[in-house]
Amino acid sequence: MQKRKTGNILFLCCWMILLSVKAAAEEEYIIYKDPNKPLNKRIKDLMKRMTLEEKIGQMIQIDRTKATPDVLKKYYIGSVLSGGGSVPKKEATAEDWIDMINGFQKGSLSTRLGIPMIYGIDAVHGNNNVYKATIFPHNVALGVTRDPQLIKKIGAATALEARATGIPYVFAPCLAVCRDPRWGRCCESYSEDPNIVRSMTEMVPGLQGDIPSNGRLGVPFVANKEKVTACAKHYVGDGGTVKGINENNTIIDRHGLLSIHMAGYYSSIIKGVATVMVSYSSWNGVRMHGNKELVTGFLKGTLRFRGFVISDWAGIDKLTYPWHTNYTYSILEGVNAGIDMVMLPYNYTEFIDGLTYLVNNNFVSMTRIEDAVKRILRVKFQMGLFENPLADYSLTKHLGSPEHRELAREAVRRSLVLLKNGANADEPVLPLPKKATSILVAGTHANNMGYQCGGWTITWQGLSGNITIGTTILSAIESTVDPETKVVYKENPDSEFVKSNNFSYAIVVVGETPYAEGSGDSLNLTIPAPGPDIMTTVCASVKCVVVLVTGRPVVIQPYLAQIDALVAAWLPGTEGQGVADVLFGDYGFTGKLARTWFKTVDQLPMNVGDSHYNPLFPFGFGLTTEPVKA
C-alpha cells in the first residue's frame, strides 16, 4: 500500500514538472521572434507588446557621434547613421566599422523586446565614407553609359562593400532629375532626361536583390545578408529648383512634377525599394518635409509604397525659418505629413519629449504612430535583421576587392565622352600613341585622388590629395605608355617650360574642386583657377588633350578653339586607369552625353526639348573611336 502511495506521489510530481516545463516553453514562444511566421503576424505581435515610448524610439535616427549602447538601450533608438565623414576613426578598417556597429547593436538587443537598430550611411558612389573602398564614378558619369545592367552590377558591388563594414542600409540611389547644372548635387543625378533616370533604377535590385518571381511588386524586399536596404531620394523635385539653388523651390505644375521628377520613383517602388528619403526642397512653395499630399497621399496612397519614409538630415528642423525656431511645430508637421523615421540627427530627447506631448494631447494620432512603426518593422523583419542583427566579419574581404575595382574601371571607360577630336575627322588626335619621345602631363587634377573622386568621398564635401587607395590619372598614364616614353609631370608649367622641352604632346587634366550640396552651387560654372591658365598656356605651344574632371558641364567654349582634343571624364572615382585605357586606345570612346552642354550660363536652365535649345554640345552627343589593335 505504501509503495503504491509513494508511486502515485512520484507520478504526480513528474506530471506537474512536465506541465510546468510545457507552460514555460509555451510562455517562451513569442510569435514575432519566429521567422517562420507570416510577416504581418510578426509585426502585429510585436506592436501589441510595445509602449508609446518604444514606438517613438523606433522612429528616431541619430548620428553615431551621439550613439552609445546605453543610449540605444535607454531610448529604444530605431536607427543610427554615419553622416558624411562620420567614421569610427581615421582610415578605419572594415573590422573597426563592424566592432563599432555591433557595439551599438548589442545595446538595442539588450532592451526589453530586443528590437535591432538599423545602421545607415550615404553610399552614393560606392561605400564612399570608408577608407580603401572602391569609389565608383558619380551618377552624372554613369548616366552616360545608358546601361542599366552595369548600374545593377555597381549596386551589387556597393552592397557587398557596405556589408563588408557591417552596414545594412544605404542612402542610395539618388533619383534626382537635374534640370540645371548650377545645382551642387547635379553630380548625383544620372541625367536631365527622366527616361534615363528611370532606367538607372536597376541600382535598386543591384543593392537589394531581385524580387522573386512569386514576390509582390511594390513591397520592400532585401534578398539576403550580402544585400542592403536601399533608399530612393530625394522625394521629390530636388533637381528642378530655381537657378539650381540647393533646397530651393521647384516651380512646376503637377503634370510636370509627375512626368519629370517622379519618374525614378515609379520604377524603384515596383522594384521593391525599402525606403524613400524626403527632399529639403519645396514644390510651389510647400516644403516637401511637410507635404502631406505628396508623402502620404501620393507616395503611400496612389503609389502604394509599403516601406518607410525617412527625413533628410535635420530635415524637419527646416520647416521653420530660422531653422529649429518652433520645433514642436516642426515635429507635428513632419510626422503628420507622413515621415516615419526622422533623421534628427542629434536632438533625440527634445524630439521624444515633443512627439510624446503631441500624441498625448491628440495633435498626432496613435494611428499615425502605428503606421510609422509598422513600416519600420516591416523593413527590419523583411531584411532579416531580427535573425541576423550582428555584422558578419566574413564579408570584410569584399572591401575594395580587385573584382570591384575592375568593375569601376570599366564604368570609367564607358562614361568618358569625347567632345572634340582634332580639327576635323581626317586628323584625329585620339587615341594617343603610347610610344613617343616625351609627353607632358599637366593640370591640378592629374595627380590628385581627392579631386578625381569629388564630394561625398571620405568626408561630406570631399578633400584634396591622397585620401584613399586608388590609381590617379597620372599614374595610370605612366603605367600605360611605352616603357621608353618619358612622362614629365608639371602641375602648372609656364610657357617657356612647355616650348623648350619639345614634347610630342600634352595631356592637361583640370576641373572642379570637390564639393557636395550647398557649397557646390555655382552661378557661373567656371573652372577654378589656375585651370584655365594651364589649358591656355599648354595648348598654345603643343598638341594637347584636355581631360575635364567635373561633376557637370562647365564653361569651356572660350578655350575650345585652342584645345586639340577634349574629353569629359566627370568624377571618375578611384580607378583612374579607366581614363588611360581609352586615351591610348586599348578601348574606344563610346559615351554619349546624358546632359546638355551649354555655351554660356545665361542660357540656363536649358534641357533637351526646350524651345530655346542652342547648346555647345547637345544631349546625346559623343564622338567615338575604335580600339587600337596591337
DSSP for residue 513: P
pLDDT in tens, 262-276: 999 999 999 999 999
Task: Report phi then psi at 357, rounded to 5.
Answer: -60, -45
CATH of domain 416-603: 3.40.50.1700
Q: In which residue are the cell numbers 523651390 written?
A: 249
pLDDT in tens, 232-267: 999 999 999 999 999 999 999 999 999 999 999 999
Check residue 7 and give its pLDDT. 54
Q: What is the DSSP string of 83-117?
A: -TT--SSTT--HHHHHHHHHHHHHHHHTSSS-PPP
Check residue 2 and give its pLDDT. 52
C-alpha cell at 557: 567654349
What is the sign of the dihedral through the CA atoms of 584, 590, 592 and 593?
negative
Check residue 28 and give its pLDDT. 72
| Strands of 342-343's sheet in order across | 169-170, 118-121, 79-82, 60-63, 342-343
CA 275 → CA 171, 224, 230, 305, 512, distances in Å? 9, 17, 6, 9, 32
Check residue 252 and give its pLDDT. 98
Asked about 517 being catalytic, the answer comes back as yes
CB contact set of 376 (below 8 Å; sequence gap of 6+) = 58, 59, 78, 308, 340, 341
Give the fold, CATH level 3, of 46-398.
Answer: TIM Barrel (3.20.20)
Query: Which one from 54, 312, 340, 575 is the annotated catalytic residue?
Result: 312
Q: Which of 216, 347, 315 is nearest to 272 (CA)?
A: 216
392 CB neighbour count, 10 Å cutoff: 14
C-alpha cell at 299: 507616395
Query: Which one from 54, 161, 410, 517 is the annotated catalytic residue?
Result: 517
Asked about 238 being catalytic, the answer comes back as no
The packing angle between helices 366-382 and 327-337, to 10°, is: 60
Task: Kindly tell me the burial class for residue 297, based on how many C-beta atoms sit within 10 Å of its own C-beta (0-12, 13-18, 19 or more).
Answer: middle
Strand residues in 302-411 grouped as ranges (E): 308-310, 342-343
Looking at the chain, which residues constitute the CATH 3.40.50.1700 domain(s)? 416-603
pLDDT in tens, 397-453: 999 999 999 999 999 999 999 999 999 888 999 999 999 999 999 999 999 999 999
Mean pLDDT of the chain: 95
Looking at the chain, which residues constitute the CATH 3.20.20.300 domain(s)? 46-398
pLDDT in tens, 462-516: 999 999 999 999 999 999 999 999 999 999 999 999 999 999 999 999 999 999 9
What is the sign of the dihedral through the CA atoms of 222, 228, 229 and 231?
negative
Q: Which residues of the chain carry a pLDDT beneath 70?
A: 1-27, 630
Percentage of the chain beyond pLDDT 70 is 96
The packing angle between helices 348-360 and 327-337, to 10°, is: 70
Check residue 358 and give its pLDDT. 98
